Amino acid sequence: MDEINCPLCGKPNPVENKYCEYCLGYLENEESSIKDPEFSDSDENQDGLGGHSSEVEKPEWLSSQEGSISSESEPAQDDLGLALPAADTSDWMPGSSKEEPSMQDEDPAVSPFVGGGEGTESGEIPSWLNDALVEESSSEGDDIEDTPEIPREQDQPDEQEKIQKTPGSLESAGPLAGLTGLLSAEPGVARIRKPGAYSTKVRISENQQEHVELLQGLLEDEGQPKPLPRKSPISQQHILRWGIAIVLLLAIFWSILLPNEQSAFPVYDEGSAELNRLVNQLPEEAKILVGFDYEPGLVDELDSAAAPVFNHLMNQGAVFTLISTSPNGPVLAERFFQAGKLEYEYISGLEYINLGYIPGGAAGLISFIENPSGTTPYSIDGVAVWETETGEPIPPVIGIELISDYEMIVLLVDDPDLARIWIEQLSPIITNPQTLTSLVLITSAQLEPVVRPYYESLPQPVNGLVVGLRGGASYSRLIGGDQLPGKFWDAFGMGTFVAALLILVGGLGYYVVPELSRTVRGEEKVD
Amino acid sequence: MGADWYYSIGSSSEVIRCAVRNPLYPAIAIGVGIVVLLGYFLQIELLVNVRIIFLEWATILIGVALLIGVINLFIVHLNKAISDHPSRYNSIALLVGLILTLLVVGWFKPTHAVSVWIFKYIQIPIESSLVALLSIVLIYSGVRLLRRKPNLLTIIFLATAVVILLVSGPLFGIEIPGLAALRIWIGKVPAVAGARGILLGISLGIIAAGLRILMGADRPYGEN
């Protein structure tokens, strides 16, 4: 005996049954639906739940519905009243016929089972089951129709349909493999689909594509470094700088290589004259404290200014104690006495002593001024200065206990701060009427405005002043003889003259030439 | 020791942490400052002696700081020299110079002719060359000063520079009437007036800074 499985509950039923004996579900007989000419698409399969023959007696309500449906099945009209061909709707609507409208157009509350078809033979269907069946059938239909057209494997739908259509068949795959009578899953969930193949290209028009390419080109150009306009390796400024240097060097070399009669030294300089007077008044073997506080870059200017003064002091038989508050000072001092620039050769330890470097700036200097022996007990060579093995100090510091025991303090300085510290810390001693110590400064020319106020004030914290090469030359003139400033005086004069000339001519040229050209342009415009 | 002290105020459930600066540093600085300052005004032997001791300590400490600076310089450039830094050759040159000078001066003593030779023929020419370059740059700047809209001050500045330069040298034995007098006047009146103003400003600044340190308002000794 042939049996057919119920698609709802999966239980076997005799093949002649239209409805399931257990769940009253419609038993879909594929063979009969395909082979039996009585079951046409238009009649039986429209609702998906089975067909009902035209021979079955229809209830009144159904007849009235059919009447209305037949009138509705006439060619549809659009909003403007134009007739639309019936084929248009039947093509895309699955299961629809040309003769009869689809069940989807009908009222879903109206059940096709009620009062009609084979259902009446098996018994009356309860209303709850009727509702459930209608909902299920409609939802299945919706799911299928709503599914977008996505490319899928050809085998997959057939298999799915087979599983759906034969719910009682043996499960062949998955965790439930080998079981029969399983309910099929929801079609939308159970179907295994390949992801849709979407194009990565943006669908844009040709005009938009042109704009995109234009924008892309602009952005790419911005990202690429553009080479700067090449500057000429020799600019106008380079030429001017080189020109100044060459003119200056030629002028100086000319005065050195072609010596003429030496120009006269300055006649009189107040500061130098005052220093000369002080040196002349010094006693024999006067103790002189010398501070070397300048940088090596200005060594020639300071040497030239200081050499005549030291020659004069040496001539007077003075002895020196050298000290510095800058690390370069001790070596500068040693070099000054060893360089052969002086008329006399002094011996270290006998006629001069180098006490080295006092760290601490102003604090160190105050400490030295107040307590020279305690601050610098040893010389730069490591010799005990203030108390030798014999118990006596070395000759240059014999009789020195305080800073005021020195007859003169000579300061060679090029830094305004250092000059100020020295002057201010020594000022109480120098300006004290009871002390005979004098402070004289030998400075670079750039420092003159800073130290001159001290020299000009009363009482004088600075008693003598030699400024730069000019001051040294002036002092040389006072003491006579062939002094160091004479070697540089002419070249120095030529250099300063050419520098002044360059500034004057170049400055005027830069000012006058543009003004003239501007005036000429203005006149041309007027014409 | 340098950290701030924290005092808790309030009950345990609501504690306000109040940072109180370490009072030790200001106390030392203010105390030493007052002692040194009073040592200038009051000629009390004890005060003067204490002041001298403080100053000697300061001298020694700054000397040690200089030594530490040299060691730090050595270490920094040593690290640079052994790294792949592009300027490591400069550091190597510095280290070689430093070590060689230390060896020579340490062996021969600073006043020896060899030590003086290094100073005389390496350091002095380099620094003198830089000063010579500075003179060219200054002349160049002076030449270009009138290029852009010269005003009265620019012209005065340039005229002063030209006058001082011309009179500083012998000027081929030529004496321009009034020029030497003008140079002396510039040196004695405007230059001295300006310098005095600057010196007064510096003095007032130093007094103010000293008072602030003595009052504890400024703490330039490392405390934040």
Domain-wise residue ranges, chain A: 3-170, 238-259+503-526, 270-483
A413 CB-near residues (< 8 Å, 6+ apart): A291, A293, A294, A419, A422, A441, A442, A443, A444, A447
> B188, A370: Cβ pair inside 8 Å?
no
Q: 3.40.50.720, 3.40.50.11740, 3.40.50.10160, 3.20.20.140: which CATH number matches A270-483? A: 3.40.50.10160
Confidence of residue B155 (pLDDT cuts 50, 70, 90): confident
A2 CB-near residues (< 8 Å, 6+ apart): A14, A15
> B168, A364: Cβ pair inside 8 Å?
no
B161 CB-near residues (< 8 Å, 6+ apart): A500, A503, B142
In a domain, B17, yes or no: no
Chain B nearest CA to A504, separation (Å): 7
Asked if the model's pLDDT at residue B112 lies above 90, the reply is no
Chain B nearest CA to A248, separation (Å): 8
Two tokens, residue B53:
């001791």
Handedness of CA B32, B34, B39, B45 (dihedral sign): negative
> A453, B196: Cβ pair inside 8 Å?
yes
Query: How far apart, in whole angstroms, are the C-alpha atoms of residue A206 and residue A246?
Result: 68
pLDDT reported for residue A320? 94
Q: How many domains is chain B partitioned into structurally?
A: 1
To which H or E segment does residue A13 belong? Answer: strand A12-14
pLDDT higher for A31 or B67? B67
Rounded to the nearest integer, the mean pLDDT of chain B is 84
In a domain, B182, yes or no: yes
> A470, B168: Cβ pair inside 8 Å?
yes
> B58, A327: Cβ pair inside 8 Å?
no
pLDDT higher for A518 or B106? B106
> A511, B150: Cβ pair inside 8 Å?
yes
| Residue A459 preceded by cis peptide, ω within 30 | yes
Q: In chain B, what percentage of residues exceed pLDDT 90?
A: 25
Which of B139, B152, B182, B200 would you mutate first to test chain A, the one with the most A CBs within 10 A?
A: B139
> Residue A382: left if φ>0, alpha if ψ -120 to 50, beta else—which one?
left
> Do A307 and A342 touch, CB atoms closer than 8 A?
yes
Give percent helix, percent strand, percent coil of chain A, each to the nearest 5.
45, 10, 45
pLDDT reported for residue A306? 92
Query: How far apart, in whole angstroms, are the C-alpha atoms of residue B71 and residue B102?
Result: 12
Which of A403, A420, A503, A504 would you mutate first to test chain B, the one with the most B CBs within 10 A?
A: A503
To which H or E segment does residue A145 belong? Answer: helix A127-146
Check if B195 contacts A (Cβ < 8 Å).
yes
pLDDT reported for residue A319? 93
Query: How far apart, in whole angstroms, are the C-alpha atoms of residue A310 and residue A345?
Result: 11
Two tokens, residue A268:
């009189």
In a domain, B87, yes or no: no
> A489, B58: Cβ pair inside 8 Å?
no
> B171, A375: Cβ pair inside 8 Å?
no
* B130 → closest Cβ in A297, A330, A510: A297
* B136 → closest Cβ in A248, A375, A496: A248
Chain A nearest CA to B205, separation (Å): 14
In a domain, B130, yes or no: no
> A502, B139: Cβ pair inside 8 Å?
yes
Query: How far apart, in whole angstroms, are the C-alpha atoms of residue B223 and residue A219?
Result: 53
In a domain, B189, yes or no: yes
- Strand ranges in A258-364 using DSSP code E only, listed in sequence order: 287-293, 319-324, 352-357
Which residues in chain B have their CB less than 8 angstroms from residue A420's CB?
199, 202
Query: How far apart, in whole angstroms, are the C-alpha atoms of residue A178 and residue A156?
Result: 20
Give, in order, the Cα–Cα distances in Å from A58 to each of A47, A64, A109, A275.
17, 10, 17, 147
> B143, A327: Cβ pair inside 8 Å?
no
In a domain, B209, yes or no: yes
What is the mean predicted confidence (pLDDT) over B118-122?
Answer: 89
In a domain, B140, yes or no: no
Query: How far apart, in whole angstroms, are the C-alpha atoms of residue A515 and residue A244?
Result: 23
> B55, A366: Cβ pair inside 8 Å?
yes
Q: Is B10 exposed, middle or buried, given 0-12, 13-18 or 19+ CB atoms closer than 10 A?
A: exposed
Query: How far apart, in whole angstroms, are the C-alpha atoms of residue A466 and residue A516?
Result: 46
Which residues in chain A have their CB less than 8 angstroms from residue B187's CB?
448-449, 452
pLDDT reported for residue B73? 94
- End-to-end distance of chain B based on CA atoms, in angstroms? 13
> Do A76 and A86 touch, CB atoms closer than 8 A?
yes
> Do A425 and A365 touch, CB atoms closer than 8 A?
yes
Closest-approach residue (CA) in chain A for B33: A363
Q: Which domain holds residue B181?
A: 149-214
B127 CB-near residues (< 8 Å, 6+ apart): A295, A296, A297, A299
Chain A nearest CA to B176, separation (Å): 13
Tell me the average confidence (pLDDT) per consecutive run of 10 residues in chain A, 527 residues long: 76 80 72 45 43 50 57 45 43 45 45 44 64 60 47 49 56 77 63 71 84 90 80 82 92 83 79 92 91 91 92 92 91 86 86 90 87 88 82 86 92 91 90 88 90 87 91 89 80 91 88 78 73
pLDDT reported for residue B167? 86
Chain A nearest CA to B149, separation (Å): 8
Query: How far apart, in whole angstroms, are the C-alpha atoms of residue B145 and residue A160?
Result: 95
Give, in order, the Cα–Cα distances in Å from A245 to each of A78, A308, B126, B158.
100, 31, 18, 19
What is the mean predicted confidence (pLDDT) over B73-83?
Answer: 93
Closest-approach residue (CA) in chain A for B39: A370
In a domain, B34, yes or no: no
> Do B209 and B218 touch, CB atoms closer than 8 A?
yes
> B172, A493: Cβ pair inside 8 Å?
yes
Query: How far apart, in whole angstroms, are the C-alpha atoms of residue A112 and residue A50?
Result: 9
* B56 → closest Cβ in A375, A382, A493: A375
> A348, B111: Cβ pair inside 8 Å?
yes
- Helix H, strand E, coil C: the string for B156-206 is HHHHHHHHHHHHHCCHHHCCCCCHHHHHHHHHHCHHHHHHHHHHHHHHHHH
pLDDT reported for residue A91? 47
pLDDT reported for residue A33? 45
pLDDT reported for residue A324? 93
* A503 → closest Cβ in B113, B123, B161: B161
